[in-house]
Amino acid sequence: MGDRRIAVEVQRVSKVFPGVRALSDVSCDFRSGEVHALLGENGAGKSTLIKIIAGVYQPSSGTVSIRGTPVTQFTPYMARTAGVATVFQELSLAPDLTVEQNIFLGAEPTRLAALGWIDGLSQRRRAMQVLETVGADVDPQIRLSALGAAQQQLVEIAKAIWTDPAVLILDEPTDKLFGEEQLRLFDLIRRLRERGIAIIYISHKLEEIHQIADRVTILRDGTLVDTTSVGEVTIDDMIRKMAGRKLGDLFPKISADPGPEVLRLEKISSAGFLEDVSLTLHRGEVLGVMGLVGAGRTLLAKTITGVVRPTGGRILVHNRPARIDSPGAAVSMGFGFLPEDRRTQGLIVMLPVRENIVLASLSRWLINHRQLNDMSRRYFERLEIKAPSIHVPVSTLSGGNQQKVVLARWLCSKAKVFIFDEPTQGIDVATKVEIYNLINELTAQGAGIIMISSDMREILGMSDRIVVMRKGRVVSEYRRDDATPERILADALAGNSDSSSGFGRDNQEVRTNNVG
Per DSSP, the chain holds a count of helices (H) and strands (E) of 16, 22
Rounded Cα–Cα distance for residues 467 and 161 (Å): 41
Per-residue pLDDT band for 466 (boundaries 50, 70, 90) equals very high
User: What are the helix (H) ranges across 295-368?
Assistant: 297-304, 327-332, 353-358
Contact 163, 104 (CB under 8 A): no
Q: How far lies 200's CA from each of 132, 172, 194, 216, 439, in Å?
A: 22, 11, 14, 10, 34
- DSSP for residue 73: S
Which residue would you say has higher pLDDT here, 153 or 496? 153
Which residue would you say has higher pLDDT here, 179 or 318? 318
For residue 239, which amino acid is it?
I
Q: What integer is the mean pLDDT of 59-84?
A: 91
For residue 513, the model assigns a pLDDT of 39
For residue 509, the model assigns a pLDDT of 34
For residue 116, the model assigns a pLDDT of 67
Q: Residue 387 pLDDT more than 50? A: yes
Nearest C-alpha neighbor of 408 from the set 458, 465, 342, 468: 342
Nearest C-alpha neighbor of 4 from the set 189, 193, 233, 227: 193
Per-residue pLDDT band for 467 (boundaries 50, 70, 90) equals very high
Rounded Cα–Cα distance for residues 319 and 17 (Å): 52
CATH for 6-243, options being 3.40.50.300, 3.40.50.11440, 3.30.930.10, 1.10.3720.10: 3.40.50.300
Nearest C-alpha neighbor of 222 from the set 378, 23, 82: 23
Lowest mean pLDDT among 251-255, 337-341, 401-405, 425-429: 425-429
Average pLDDT, the chain: 86
Q: Residue 511 pLDDT more than 50? A: no
Q: pLDDT tens-digit profile of 361-383?
A: 775 545 677 888 888 999 999 88
Q: Tell me the fold of 261-334+416-506.
A: Rossmann fold (3.40.50)
Q: Residue 497 pLDDT more than 50? A: no
Identical fold, 6-243 and 261-334+416-506? yes
Q: What integer is the mean pLDDT of 502-509?
A: 44
Please state the domain extents for the chain: 6-243, 261-334+416-506
Rounded Cα–Cα distance for residues 506 and 11 (Å): 43
